[in-house]
């Protein structure tokens, strides 16, 4: 906090010094009319957008306001193998910011209208700091918090995507994007996107976005996303600020046998059956157990650990969420054109009640998700891309034409390429037809199945006291045996913001946990029996910059 107060004091001094010379600059002879005037907003000039980023010392903000528990962003993509090399980092350079603003003909009487929708103190402090940084280079700004229907205030595109005017009433919007796939970051840049409210039609940009969907090959996708990142960065179409970091906590009783930690909001191969715990009964303690029910995976397929422990998927993913090999599918093949996936299922899998897992369960699950409410956008795009999915979803077909079964083989045929198909099949688990086949997908969460779910995963439900705790037992009928000794998992009931996490860790009753709460991390770092593992996740805070004329300025 002392660092933060010092930062604000320095900024206030620099603003007052700069302001002393602003009158002289304003009285200088005016140059020719700036190029952006015909477009109705100074934000249409790339130099202005770049200047706004050069004016912010994000590294110092991360070190002070966030106490090092975040990462300065140079792209929407977080650090890792999807991030493009050689991007302009826009390091803090207020003199360059002033120069760019001067070259662009920045109107010194213009006040940026900046909106945000978070109410936490950290956000309020961040907005105040950035306001001072911009003032220090001669940019006036006014910040206000949005209330009510955020979609209508933030993401409505203009009727005319070339000239506007804007349908939203702001110049700059502070927001966040949490993504499972890279496409969730970048699909919104296309001129036809239903949530593109700030970036005018750009043929080159549309071409680059579409290229990210042209192949099911992960390496081809990475190359396309990197080209897109460079274009967005060079033109500062949005202003990335920082990446939120998540944290995995492990106790000194737990040995994960070298397995990587990753983003536990989603599922990835942990090889938990190989882990060992220094416990006479083989009990491992964790959090995020069921509150009112075991949450169905429609919206959040891996947000709670029981979803991963109880249910297997067709395909595995690594800690970076890249699809790797088979899971319930012993193997799979993607056609060269990406329009078909053949899953060869294992023949040694049973549900926790002893019933055999079959190819019909796969067909049932795909059809179940197609009619489930609130399905995550990544999965929704995958399932809707399957041949005949629309006819099944609207009730004009009794089954999905593009899903066929031949013995232990399931073939999924698409009407269009979905680059995230394998990712979807690595996250959304297969569900039991014999237990859910007669259940309405729309109201399935209320079904008694989610009080005591039956899956195909390495652990099964043993005991549940909803809102208190749940105990999972190792499933002896699982198709893998593993080399570890974890026999039981005790889960304290909580949502992802676990108010009792530090208390339970202090009492030795947390062996593995996940959190995005920096306060948790600061407390657990003080415990000798715990280790904190920072994890890069696809969660980026940024400014959207409206290149369409602000309605208040239209005459």
- Asked if 538 and 83 count as a contact pair (C-beta separation under 8 A), the reply is no
Q: Is the pLDDT of residue 349 over 50?
A: yes
Q: Is the pLDDT of residue 27 over 50?
A: no
Q: What is the dihedral of CA 461, 299, 313, 389, to 10 degrees?
A: 130
User: Which pLDDT belongs to residue 17?
Assistant: 39
Domain count across the chain: 3
pLDDT band at 218 (very low <50, low <70, confident <90, very high): confident
User: Which pLDDT belongs to residue 11?
Assistant: 60
Q: What is the pLDDT of residues 88-130, one digit of tens each?
A: 999 999 999 999 999 999 999 999 999 999 988 999 999 999 9
Kindly give the pairing relationship between strand 172-178 and strand 315-317.
Answer: unpaired
- Asked if 452 and 461 count as a contact pair (C-beta separation under 8 A), the reply is yes
Which residue is it, tokens 């110049």? 171
The mean per-residue pLDDT over the stretch 506-519 comes to 91
The mean per-residue pLDDT over the stretch 164-193 comes to 95
What is the rounded CA–CA span in Å between residue 465 and residue 474? 19
Q: What's the CATH code of the domain at 374?
A: 3.90.76.10
Measure the CA angle with vertex 279, ends 274 and 284; round to 5°: 60
Looking at 425, 449, 473, the residue that finishes a domain is 449
Q: What is the pLDDT of residues 453-496, one digit of tens each?
A: 999 999 999 999 999 999 999 999 999 999 999 999 999 999 87
C-alpha distances (whole Å) from 118 to each of 127, 177, 541 are 11, 13, 11
Residue 151: give the domain boundaries: 2-15+38-244+539-553
For the packed helices 359-370 and 377-384, what is the interaxial angle rounded to 10 degrees?
A: 110
Q: Is the pLDDT of residue 29 over 50?
A: no
Q: What is the mean pLDDT of the chain?
A: 92
Q: Is the pLDDT of residue 421 over 90?
A: yes
Q: Are 93 and 228 in a shared domain?
A: yes
Q: Are 293 and 396 in a shared domain?
A: no
Q: Are 443 and 462 in a shared domain?
A: no
152 falls within a domain: yes
293 falls within a domain: yes
Looking at 418, 449, 480, the residue that finishes a domain is 449
What is the rounded CA–CA span in Å between residue 82 and residue 225? 8
Which residue is it, tokens 């979905």? 418
The mean per-residue pLDDT over the stretch 350-370 comes to 98
Q: Are 476 and 388 in a shared domain?
A: no
Q: What's the CATH code of the domain at 124?
A: 3.10.105.10
25 falls within a domain: no
Q: What is the dihedral of CA 86, 87, 89, 95, to 10 degrees?
A: 100
20 falls within a domain: no
Q: Can you list the alpha helix ranges (DSSP code H) found in 236-285? A: none
Q: Are 522 and 545 in a shared domain?
A: no
What is the rounded CA–CA span in Å between residue 332 and residue 74? 36
Closest CA to 538 of 236, 142, 244: 244
pLDDT band at 519 (very low <50, low <70, confident <90, very high): confident
DSSP-based three-state secondary structure for 428: coil
pLDDT band at 363 (very low <50, low <70, confident <90, very high): very high
Q: What's the CATH code of the domain at 261?
A: 3.40.190.10
Q: Are 411 and 325 in a shared domain?
A: yes
Please name the residues in contact with 313: beta carbons below 8 A apart, sequence gap of 6 or more: 267, 327, 328, 425, 426, 427, 428, 429, 430
**Burial group, residue 254, by CB count within 10 angstroms (0-12, 13-18, 19+):** buried
pLDDT band at 12 (very low <50, low <70, confident <90, very high): low
Q: Are 157 and 94 in a shared domain?
A: yes
Instruction: Return the higher-pLDDT residue of 7 and 347.
Output: 347
409 falls within a domain: yes
**Burial group, residue 396, by CB count within 10 angstroms (0-12, 13-18, 19+):** exposed
Q: Are 169 and 76 in a shared domain?
A: yes
What is the rounded CA–CA span in Å between residue 391 and residue 381? 15
Q: Are 63 and 190 in a shared domain?
A: yes
* Least confident residue range of 15-24, 37-46, 220-229: 15-24
User: Which pLDDT belongs to residue 26?
Assistant: 37
Q: Is the pLDDT of residue 220 over 70?
A: yes
Measure the CA angle with vertex 295, ends 323 and 366; round to 5°: 50
Kindly give the pairing relationship between strand 340-345 and strand 323-326.
Answer: unpaired
What is the rounded CA–CA span in Å between residue 359 and residue 231? 44
Q: Are 55 and 200 in a shared domain?
A: yes
* Least confident residue range of 15-24, 219-228, 481-490: 15-24
User: Which pLDDT belongs to residue 22?
Assistant: 35
What is the rounded CA–CA span in Å between residue 488 and residue 346? 25
Instruction: Return the higher-pLDDT residue of 7 and 249.
Output: 249
Q: Can you list the alpha helix ranges (DSSP code H) found in 311-376? A: 359-370
Measure the CA angle with vertex 550, ends 545 and 555; round to 5°: 155
Q: What is the DSSP letter of 550?
A: P
Q: Are 50 and 129 in a shared domain?
A: yes
What is the rounded CA–CA span in Å between residue 182 and residue 198? 20
User: Which pLDDT belongs to residue 3?
Assistant: 56
419 falls within a domain: yes
Closest CA to 109 of 49, 25, 12: 25
pLDDT band at 7 (very low <50, low <70, confident <90, very high): low
Q: Are 48 and 133 in a shared domain?
A: yes
CA 316 vs. chain centroid, Å, equals 19
User: Which pLDDT belongs to residue 455?
Assistant: 98
DSSP-based three-state secondary structure for 284: strand
Q: Is the pLDDT of residue 357 over 90?
A: yes
Q: What is the pLDDT of residues 372-407, one digit of tens each?
A: 998 988 999 999 999 999 999 999 999 999 999 999
What is the rounded CA–CA span in Å between residue 527 and residue 525? 6
DSSP-based three-state secondary structure for 329: strand
Q: What is the pLDDT of residues 279-321, one digit of tens each?
A: 999 999 999 999 999 999 998 898 899 999 999 999 999 998 8
Q: Is the pLDDT of residue 23 over 50?
A: no
334 falls within a domain: yes
């Amino acid at each position: 906090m002392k660092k933060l107060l010092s930062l604000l004091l320095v900024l206030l001094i620099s603003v007052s010094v700069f302001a002393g010379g602003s009158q002289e600059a304003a009285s200088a002879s005016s140059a020719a009319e700036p190029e952006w005037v015909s477009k109705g907003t100074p934000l249409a000039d790339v130099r202005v957008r770049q200047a706004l980023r050069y004016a912010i010392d994000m590294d110092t903000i991360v070190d002070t306001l966030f106490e090092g528990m975040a990462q300065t962003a140079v792209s929407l993509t977080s650090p890792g193998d999807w991030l493009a090399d050689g991007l302009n980092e826009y390091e803090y350079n207020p003199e360059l910011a002033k120069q760019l603003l001067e070259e662009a003909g920045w109107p010194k009487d213009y006040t940026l209208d900046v909106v945000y929708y978070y109410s936490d103190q950290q956000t309020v402090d961040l907005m105040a700091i950035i306001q001072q940084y911009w003032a220090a280079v001669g940019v006036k700004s006014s910040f206000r918090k949005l209330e009510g229907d955020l979609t209508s205030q933030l993401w409505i595109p203009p009727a005319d995507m070339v000239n506007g005017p804007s349908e939203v009433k702001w110049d700059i919007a502070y927001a966040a994007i949490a993504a499972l796939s890279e496409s969730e970051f970048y699909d919104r840049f296309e001129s036809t996107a239903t949530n593109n409210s700030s970036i005018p039609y750009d043929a080159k940009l549309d071409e680059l976005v579409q290229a990210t969907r042209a192949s099911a090959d992960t390496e081809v996708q990475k190359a396309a996303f990197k080209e897109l990142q460079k274009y967005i960065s060079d033109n500062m179409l949005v202003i990335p600020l920082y990446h939120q970091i998540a944290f995995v906590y492990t106790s000194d009783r737990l040995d994960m046998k070298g397995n990587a930690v990753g983003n536990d909001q989603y599922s990835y191969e942990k090889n938990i059956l190989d882990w060992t715990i220094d416990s006479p009964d083989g009990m491992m303690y964790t959090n995020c157990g069921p509150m009112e029910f075991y949450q169905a995976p429609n919206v959040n397929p891996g947000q709670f650990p029981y979803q991963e422990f109880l249910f297997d998927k067709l395909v595995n993913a690594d800690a970076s969420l890249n699809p790797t090999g088979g899971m319930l599918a012993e193997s799979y093949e993607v056609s060269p054109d990406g329009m078909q996936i053949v899953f060869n299922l294992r023949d040694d899998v049973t549900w926790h009640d002893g019933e055999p897992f079959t190819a019909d369960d796969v067909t049932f699950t795909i059809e179940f998700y197609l009619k489930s409410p609130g399905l995550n956008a990544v999965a929704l795009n995958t399932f809707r891309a399957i041949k005949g999915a629309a006819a099944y979803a609207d009730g004009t077909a009794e089954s999905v034409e593009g899903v066929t079964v031949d013995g232990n083989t399931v073939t999924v045929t698409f009407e269009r390429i979905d680059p995230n198909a394998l990712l979807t099949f690595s996250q959304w688990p297969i569900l039991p037809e014999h237990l859910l086949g007669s259940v309405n997908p729309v109201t399935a969460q209320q079904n008694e199945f989610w009080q005591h779910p039956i899956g195909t995963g390495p652990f099964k439900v043993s005991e549940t006291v909803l809102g208190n705790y749940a105990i999972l037992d190792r499933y002896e009928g699982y198709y893998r045996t593993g080399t570890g000794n974890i026999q039981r998992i005790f889960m304290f009931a909580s949502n992802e913001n676990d108010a009792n996490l530090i208390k339970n860790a202090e009492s030795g009753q947390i062996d593995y946990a996940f959190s995005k709460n920096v306060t948790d991390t600061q407390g657990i770092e003080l415990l000798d029996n715990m280790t904190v593992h920072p994890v890069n996740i696809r969660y980026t805070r940024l400014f959207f910059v409206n290149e369409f004329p602000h309605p208040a300025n239209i005459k």
